[in-house]
Amino acid sequence: MFRLSIQKFILKSNPIRSNYILKPRFFNTSPILLKKKSTKQKLQKQDEKIQAEAAEEIITPTIDFPTVESKFEKILTKFEKQANEIKLGKLNPKIFDNLIVNIGNQKDVEEVQFNTIAQTSIKGRNFIVTMFDPSNGQSLINAIIGSGLNMSGTIDPSNKFNIKIPLPPITSETKQQNLKQLKELFDKLKNNKTNSLTSIRGDTRSKFQSNLKNHKITDLENKQLTQLEKLHKLYIDKLHEKFKAYEKQILK
């Protein structure tokens, strides 16, 4: 009671003092600032969520079918080129190209490749070796005799630049050897671990599957793999058709 009476007395006698006492100071946080901070945090969380979802997004890889088909076509072209050489066998004008020829004299012998000093063609029932320098005639003939091809030749008396070599007869044994080589070529370009139809398909599948995320394969992805298998089978059939065609020509 005594303390209250003193306070009333002070208030009446000093109004300025009373204002100071009756109006205490308050400290608080601005609700606008809190709202701004809260909104910024919310947006940041949303952004992080979007980024996380983007990182987990499933991107379906695609197979470049035109490139795959182009690679398959190159295999067929390679088969045709090599199969034609097998079919010609000993009738191939390139048969002597890789022979090593010793030219020069006994004191100064030089080894050169056959096709650097001569070229071969077929005319009638003979190989015609056209020499760039007729002084190499006997050296070329010696290389042919020593090749193991069971052939020999003579210099054409009417043209000192030419060597005539009779074409070897085609026997049943020769045909069987050619067929064996053709089958080996077919198997190699069909199933070899590299540079074959099967290896191209395998590499394409491996690359396609390595780009898949850890998810269940989709219908679209399955469809692409199925299309790849169909394309591979189509070219296996094409290769087989070419094999049978060359086989028939060799057996004629």
Q: Of 151, 166, 181, which residue sits at a domain end?
A: 166
Same-domain check for residues 130 and 177: no
Looking at residues 79-94, what average pLDDT do you find?
92
Dump the DSSP string for 97-152: TT-EEEEE-SSSEEEEEGGGTEEEEEETTEEEEEESSGGGHHHHHHHHHTTTSS--
214 and 188 inside one domain: yes
The answer to whether residue 37 is domain-embedded is no
pLDDT at 46: 66
Task: Say yes or no: 138 and 109 in one domain.
Answer: yes
- Do 129 and 163 contact (CB within 8 A), yes or no? yes
For the chain, the average pLDDT equals: 83
Write out the DSSP string of 186-226.
HHHHHH-SSSSHHHHHHHHHHHHHHT--SSPPPHHHHHHHH
Number of domains forming the structure of the chain? 2
- Report pLDDT for 47: 62
> Are 76 and 114 found together in one domain?
no
The residue segments making up the domain with residue 230 are 65-87+172-250
**Residue 234: pLDDT above 50?**
yes
In a domain, 129, yes or no: yes
Q: CB count, 10 Å around CB of 186?
A: 19
Residue 13 lies in a domain: no
In this structure, what CATH number is given to the domain that contains residue 226?
Answer: 1.10.132
CATH number of domain containing 152: 3.30.1360.40
Pick the range with the lowest mean pLDDT from 22-26, 186-190, 216-220, 237-241: 22-26
Is residue 8 in a domain?
no
234 plus 127 within the same structural domain: no
Sheet with 118-123, side-by-side order of all strands: 118-123, 126-131, 162-166, 154-155
Is residue 179 located within the same domain as residue 246?
Answer: yes
106/162 same-domain check: yes
